[in-house]
């Protein structure tokens, strides 16, 4: 049986995946960051600790075939914090995977690595990186690290650019970015089960009619999403949009306006 580790098991996505994978009998080791965990079922291994610490990484990855890496800072934060959690920590994880012969890492990348593309654009996987903050920049770097460790060390990676992983869409932006939880679980199971992936980037998104990203499926993994945010469109569009004009203009939504210099101010500062 494939041994699977899940980092970030105390986070929003991690909590969902931990429960869902445990219910399916996956041989799972769950790590909750600095939060101690209680096993959900007999046989689940649990641990916690700082993944910048190689000893903690060794406990997480010993005997593991596939790591689902959901740990790290998941919102926009000052650069030093992002560097420590999303760069230093991720490098420690990949080095641990190298030490322990981990076959594959599923890396939680993000739509915020491309968030400064306008909402009128339709993007393929080869689109330019346009991060909307330090968080998105860290995901851009993480995809590059995953590529490096495949090319130089043969560690497979699936970099999933997660959209909005929620039980249901609740605002107009989600009509394009929603990653339904049924589809998230299907995607994760395909990542565990696929015989060979090499280095792969995929959109973490459902089969949304208004998706900004294509393809929504991933044939290499055998992932074919079945959920569609359009089922909720009439209800969502009947309510006010919570995003301001700037957030509606760009794919990164509310992240774009954080520490943003308006064009008119840029011109005045350059004089």
Instruction: Note the pLDDT tens digit of each residue in 252-268.
Output: 999 999 999 999 888 76
The overall average pLDDT reported for the chain is 96
How far apart (Å, rounded) are the C-alpha atoms in residues 63 and 52?
Answer: 19
How far apart (Å, rounded) are the C-alpha atoms in residues 180 and 3?
Answer: 25
Answer whether residue 7 shows pLDDT above 90: yes
The phi, psi pair for 178, rounded to 5°, reads -60, 135
Answer whether residue 221 shows pLDDT above 70: yes
Q: What is the mean pLDDT of residues 147-165?
A: 98
DSSP secondary-structure letter at 85? I
Q: What is the CB neighbour count within 10 angstroms for residue 152?
A: 9
DSSP secondary-structure letter at 84? I
How far apart (Å, rounded) are the C-alpha atoms in residues 154 and 98?
Answer: 9
- Condensed to tens digits (0 to 9), the pLDDT of residues 99-111 reads 999 999 999 999 9
Task: Give pLDDT, residue 33.
Answer: 84
- Condensed to tens digits (0 to 9), the pLDDT of residues 37-76 reads 999 988 899 999 999 999 999 999 999 999 999 999 999 9
Task: Give pLDDT, residue 268.
Answer: 65
| Beta strand segments in the chain, E | 3-7, 27-31, 45-47, 66-69, 104-110, 156-162, 164-166, 178-180, 199-204
- What the block records as the tokens of 247 is 């957030």
Task: Give pLDDT, residue 270.
Answer: 56
Q: What is the mean pLDDT of residues 96-100?
A: 98
Torsion of CA 239, 243, 245, 251, to 10 degrees: -110
Task: Give pLDDT, residue 266.
Answer: 86
Contact partners, residue 200, CB within 8 Å, separation at least 6: 156, 157, 158, 159, 218, 220, 221
Give this prediction's pTM.
0.95
How far apart (Å, rounded) are the C-alpha atoms in residues 197 and 135?
Answer: 26
Please, how many CA atoms are within 13 Å of residue 242, restricted to the half-sphere of its CB? 9
Task: Give pLDDT, residue 53.
Answer: 97
SS3 percent helix, strand, coil of the chain, rounded to 5, is 40, 20, 45
- What the block records as the tokens of 100 is 């322990």
Task: Give pLDDT, residue 271.
Answer: 56
Task: Give pLDDT, residue 199.
Answer: 98
Please tell me the total number of residues recorded for the chain in this structure.
271
**Runs of H (alpha helix) within 127-195:** 134-153, 174-177, 181-193
Residue 236 and residue 96 in contact, taking contact as beta carbons nearer than 8 Å = no
Answer whether residue 269 shows pLDDT above 70: no
Q: What is the CB neighbour count within 10 angstroms for residue 45?
A: 16
Cα→Cα distances 172→56, 67, 104, 136, 163, Å = 41, 33, 35, 21, 13
- What the block records as the tokens of 130 is 């346009």
Tracing tokens 């079945």 back to the chain, one arrives at 226
- Condensed to tens digits (0 to 9), the pLDDT of residues 226-253 reads 999 999 999 999 999 999 999 999 999 9
Active site residues: 135
Task: Give pLDDT, residue 43.
Answer: 86
Task: Give pLDDT, residue 84.
Answer: 96
Answer whether residue 150 shows pLDDT above 70: yes
- Condensed to tens digits (0 to 9), the pLDDT of residues 183-207 reads 999 999 999 999 999 999 999 999 9
Measured over all CA atoms, what is the biggest interatomic distance in the chain, rounded to whole angstroms? 67
Contact partners, residue 180, CB within 8 Å, separation at least 6: 166, 167, 168, 206, 225, 227, 229
Domains of the chain: 3-269 (3.40.50.720)
């Amino acid at each position: 049986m494939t041994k699977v580790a899940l980092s970030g098991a105390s986070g929003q996505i991690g909590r969902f995946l931990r429960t869902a994978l445990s219910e399916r009998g996956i041989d799972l080791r769950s790590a909750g960051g600095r939060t101690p965990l209680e096993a959900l079922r007999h046989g689940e291994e649990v641990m916690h600790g700082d993944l910048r610490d190689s000893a903690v990484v060794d406990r997480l990855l010993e005997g593991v075939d596939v790591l689902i890496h959901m740990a790290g800072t998941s919102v926009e934060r000052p650069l030093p914090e992002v560097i420590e959690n999303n760069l230093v920590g991720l490098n420690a994880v990949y080095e641990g995977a190298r030490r322990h012969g981990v076959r594959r890492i599923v890396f939680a990348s993000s739509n915020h690595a491309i968030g400064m593309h306008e909402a009128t654009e339709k993007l393929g996987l080869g689109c330019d990186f346009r991060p909307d903050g330090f968080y998105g920049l860290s995901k851009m770097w993480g995809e590059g690290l995953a590529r490096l460790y495949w090319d130089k060390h043969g560690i497979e990676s699936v970099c999933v650019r997660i959209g909005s992983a929620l039980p249901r869409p609740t605002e107009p932006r989600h009509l394009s970015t929603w990653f339904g939880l049924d589809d998230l679980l299907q995607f994760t199971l395909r990542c565990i089960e696929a015989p060979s992936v090499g280095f792969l980037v995929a959109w973490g998104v459902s089969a949304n009619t208004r998706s900004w990203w294509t393809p929504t499926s991933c044939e290499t993994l055998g992932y074919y999403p079945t959920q569609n945010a359009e089922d909720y469109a009439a209800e969502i569009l009947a309510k006010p949009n919570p995003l301001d004009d700037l957030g509606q203009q760009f794919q990164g939504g509310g992240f774009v306006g954080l520490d943003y210099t308006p064009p008119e101010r840029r011109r005045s500062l350059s004089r």
